[in-house]
Amino acid sequence: MSKLVGKGITKTYGGKDVLHSVDLELESGKIYGMIGRNGAGKTTLLSILTAQNPATKGSVTLDGEPVWENPAALKHLCFSRELAQVSGNNVNTMKVKEYLRIAATFLPNWDKEMADRLIREFDLDVKKRIGKLSKGMMSMVTVLTALASKADFTFLDEPTSGLDVVAREKFYKILLEEYEQTGRTFIVSTHIIEEAADVFEEVVVLDKGSILLKENTQELLERSFHVSGRAEEVEAAVSGLRLYHEERIGRSRGVTVLLEPGEKIRDGYDVSVQRLSLQKVFLALCGEEA
């Protein structure tokens, strides 16, 4: 089993730390979801983990070997970021097929057959110039590049942002098929949390440049609850627990709790206890303060 390990990753831009000594271990054979608010540092972290951007401090290793300027390690990594963000004039004037031909030369495990199949599945016109593609078609090119790279650790930054709902479903279906057949590791950052929640075996929550949580998605959902009712009943039921989010309407109160081992919501109080979706857990963790 391979491990990609980031240790003490700090990134400073213009004197400001945008990543604060981040430690992160990614194991092979999992699909990770990375979620965080705008500007949390997701793209920066993914680009550092794949050695496309140097860390100001800290290290990234694959099975103990540094990845920076190390072709032996880099051939196992692929970072497919939004094409709209990387397109310079050179890329914009390229036809899709030229872009893919160049990608194939940079990615040592390129699977041409898979690329051709995905071109058909996404109905992509490879004769079109990148600059003339719609946002969704650009997303398809980046998704296709990531999947056909066959890299052991494949990072996708907002892969579904430009895709319509049909194409998004198709993307997750293909991702799961590929994962089941190959056991490759995928790290997917997304803002569209709910539709991806079932796909992510583990979820990494990044908030203001720090990792707030990295956990099996199912286990996280099993310990996350919303407790509501009359304020005094709720207070008694959750007394001693850490509250992540809180609403008050008149004499009613609602709170979100993430139970730690050994903790429980106290019995015997007149409260409603509900499970939360991943999106609600995320809102409680990264939304307004409790």
Rule CB under 6 A: which residues touch ligand ATP? Answer: 13-14, 18, 36, 38-44
| Minimum distance from residue 47 beta carbon to ligand ATP (Å) | 8
Beta sheet of 3-13, edge-to-edge order: 16-27, 3-13, 57-62, 65-66
What are the backbone dihedrals phi and psi of residue 239, each rounded to the nearest 5 degrees, phi first?
A: -60, 135
Q: Measured from the CB atom, is 48 or 234 closer to ligand ATP?
A: 48
Q: Measured from the CB atom, is 95 or 191 closer to ligand ATP?
A: 191
Q: Measured from the CB atom, is 162 or 229 closer to ligand ATP?
A: 162
Question: Hey, which residues does 207 pair with through a beta bridge?
Answer: 210
The DSSP code sequence of 214-282 is EEEHHHHHHTEEEEEEEHHHHHHHTTTSPEEEEEEETTEEEEEEEPPTT--PPSSS-EEEEE--HHHHH
| Minimum distance from residue 38 beta carbon to ligand ATP (Å) | 3
| Minimum distance from residue 190 beta carbon to ligand ATP (Å) | 9
First to last CA, the chain: 40
Q: Measured from the CB atom, is 15 or 240 closer to ligand ATP?
A: 15
Count of CB atoms within 10 A of residue 15's CB?
5
| Minimum distance from residue 222 beta carbon to ligand ATP (Å) | 27
Count of CB atoms within 10 A of residue 180's CB?
8
Separation CA 156–CA 43 (nearest Å): 9
| Minimum distance from residue 187 beta carbon to ligand ATP (Å) | 13
Specify whether the CB–CB gap between 124 and 140 falls below 8 A: yes
Q: How far is CA 64 from CA 2, 24, 59, in A?
A: 10, 14, 10
| Minimum distance from residue 54 beta carbon to ligand ATP (Å) | 12
Q: Measured from the CB atom, is 14 or 64 closer to ligand ATP?
A: 14
Q: Measured from the CB atom, is 17 or 235 closer to ligand ATP?
A: 17
The length of the chain is 290
| Minimum distance from residue 153 beta carbon to ligand ATP (Å) | 18
Q: Measured from the CB atom, is 18 or 243 closer to ligand ATP?
A: 18
